Amino acid sequence: MPATPFQSLSSIPRWKSLRNSLRFAHNPITVLNENTQHYGHTYRFHLGGFLPGILTTDPGLIQHILQRQHRSWRKSPVQTERLGEFLGNGLLTSDGEYWLRQRRLIQPGFHRARLEALSGIMLKEVDDFLDNRFEPAIRKSTLVDLAPLMMELAFRVVAKSLFTTDLREEDVQLLSRNVTAIQAYIMRTLRQPYLMPWFRLSGQAHRHKELSRQSDLTIMRYIQARRQSGVRNDDLLQMLLDARYEDTGQGMTDQQLMEEAAILFVAGHETTANALSWTWYLLSQHPSVVSRLREEFDSVLGGRPPVFADLPRLQYSMQVIEESMRLYPPAWITDRLAVEDNEYEGLFLPKGSRVVAYIYGVHHRPDLWPDPEAFRPERFAREEKGAYHSFAYMPFGGGPRQCIGNNFALMEIQLILLRMLSRYDMELDPGHEIGLEPLVTLRPRFGMRMIVKNRKK
């Protein structure tokens, strides 16, 4: 049977995409949900009114591009060149042979044994943050916005996992500020590509390049200082320094180290912070889940601090995190470009096709997730796993480019939930409005205002 021509897919007329481009820039999720309802699981459209693409919420097609036929697909220039221009050429932004070589080199750094070493650094940073940043904040006012606090905490955890105690406070602040500003700028350029000439003329492009250079120099200083000191720490930087290419036996250059470290900062904090903010929101709406979590923590730990080996036994807390990332996937969308003609279930996809995997849309499909808006951690109970398509749930993407930090992130979120739930009771501020802000990651639009009280012992 001849393949269905690509042109026969239902298609949103370009004028309609253009007319919707402002609404899209303001709230892409609303527009994409409407489109999906109207045009089905896979359709042609123009992203932001300009870039032609195929949007899909079909787990089979997403598995095709990310995993089964991944060799025929590459990351789009938006993810490599545009992000790479500011973030450098690290795992997240590189492609092809270079990416594969780097992935093979770095992957072992995220294996179990390494994570065990990192769990100690993480736990210490979480406790320090709660004592020295969170406590003073809630002493000033019990009403706090958790979203920026979770951002700061997740940033510190990655920073300390990379550089341990070497890192000076003013550099944590500088890196955090710069990364946030650069990400916000990149997102503006992606949502409103027609403003690019203006961004260049007004000096914004140059300004953000400077911020990125400043961060790179800061990271480079730490790399060189570590090399010169000869001190060995059990952190991610040490892992990057020790890693050797299989073929040459050589390690990375300082420039490569800097680019990979910079990418870990970017990829590793905002996603985790958003997962945490959304989880706190869901927990504030489901006190019975909070009680069950505390029961689990008490029964597994009996009040002592957690160690790495405890984490797999905290099964219910993992289900809560998984369900939270189904409802609010921090990485809510990704895309790939066809590098050669290929075909998926009779649909011909010519070289150059852009397929946009609408992860948020997949996670909310009622035929895949009954009552999709309901928060039900039971969906992820061990006996339920396998009941859904492996690409019906993909907060960490899939295939060879799946998130390298997935287990790092899950461990971090579990530890933070555990430590904070043992110390605090939190309620959503009754006047607080919940909205989605899909930037590079899915943020809560109005932050996450909570009333936080110390728990009675």
The site for ligand HEM (CB under 6 A) is made up of: 91-92, 103, 158, 263-264, 267-268, 271-272, 275, 330-331, 334, 395-397, 401, 403-405, 408-409
Rounded to 5 degrees, φ, ψ at 185 are -65, -45
How near is the Cβ of 86 to ligand HEM at its closest, in Å?
16
Element (H or E) spanning 76, and its range?
Answer: none
Q: Tell me whether residue 125 or residue 205 sits nearer to ligand HEM (CB atom).
A: 125
How near is the Cβ of 19 to ligand HEM at its closest, in Å?
29
Question: How many other CB atoms sit within 10 Å of the CB of residue 441?
Answer: 22
How near is the Cβ of 2 to ligand HEM at its closest, in Å?
31
By DSSP bridging, strand 347-349 and strand 436-438 are unpaired
- Do the beta carbons of residue 20 and residue 48 sit within 8 Å? no
Q: Tell me whether residue 235 or residue 296 sits nearer to ligand HEM (CB atom).
A: 235
Q: Tell me whether residue 65 or residue 205 sits nearer to ligand HEM (CB atom).
A: 65
SS (H, E, C) 384-404: HCCCCCCCCCCCCCCHHHCCC
Q: Tell me whether residue 88 or residue 330 sits nearer to ligand HEM (CB atom).
A: 330
How near is the Cβ of 55 to ligand HEM at its closest, in Å?
15
Q: Which residues contact 263 (CB under 8 A, 6 or more apart)?
A: 87, 88, 90, 91, 92, 93
Q: Tell me whether residue 157 or residue 426 sits nearer to ligand HEM (CB atom).
A: 157
How near is the Cβ of 433 to ligand HEM at its closest, in Å?
24
Q: Which pair of tokens denotes residue 122?
A: 């993480």
DSSP 305-365: PP-GGGGGG-HHHHHHHHHHHHHS-SS--EEEEESS-EEETTEEE-TT-EEEE-HHHHHT-
Helix ranges, 27-111 (H): 28-39, 59-63, 77, 83-87, 96-106
Q: Tell me whether residue 21 or residue 176 sits nearer to ligand HEM (CB atom).
A: 176
Radius of gyration in angstroms for the set of CA atoms belonging to the chain, rounded to a whole number: 22
Cα dihedral 190, 192, 195, 201 sign:
negative
Q: Which pair of tokens denotes residue 119?
A: 């769990």
How near is the Cβ of 410 to ligand HEM at its closest, in Å?
7
How near is the Cβ of 388 to ligand HEM at its closest, in Å?
17
Q: Which pair of tokens denotes residue 81?
A: 């060149």
How near is the Cβ of 372 to ligand HEM at its closest, in Å?
18
Q: Which residue has the tokens 């990149």?
A: 186
Q: Tell me whether residue 9 or residue 263 sits nearer to ligand HEM (CB atom).
A: 263
How near is the Cβ of 327 to ligand HEM at its closest, in Å?
13
In whole angstroms, give the CA distance from residue 105 to residue 99.
10
Q: Tell me whether residue 270 or residue 296 sits nearer to ligand HEM (CB atom).
A: 270
How near is the Cβ of 403 to ligand HEM at its closest, in Å?
3
Q: Tell me whether residue 138 or residue 273 sits nearer to ligand HEM (CB atom).
A: 273
Residues forming a β-bridge with 87: none
Q: Tell me whether residue 74 or residue 376 sits nearer to ligand HEM (CB atom).
A: 74
Residues forming a β-bridge with 44: 11, 54
- Do the beta carbons of residue 267 and residue 92 sit within 8 Å? yes
**Amino acid type, 145:** D
How near is the Cβ of 216 to ligand HEM at its closest, in Å?
17
Q: Tell me whether residue 83 or residue 138 sits nearer to ligand HEM (CB atom).
A: 83
By DSSP bridging, strand 51-56 and strand 354-357 are parallel
**Which residue has its beta carbon closest to ligand HEM?**
405
Q: Which pair of tokens denotes residue 114?
A: 């390494």
Kindly state the DSSP code that residue 53 receives in the 8-state scheme: E
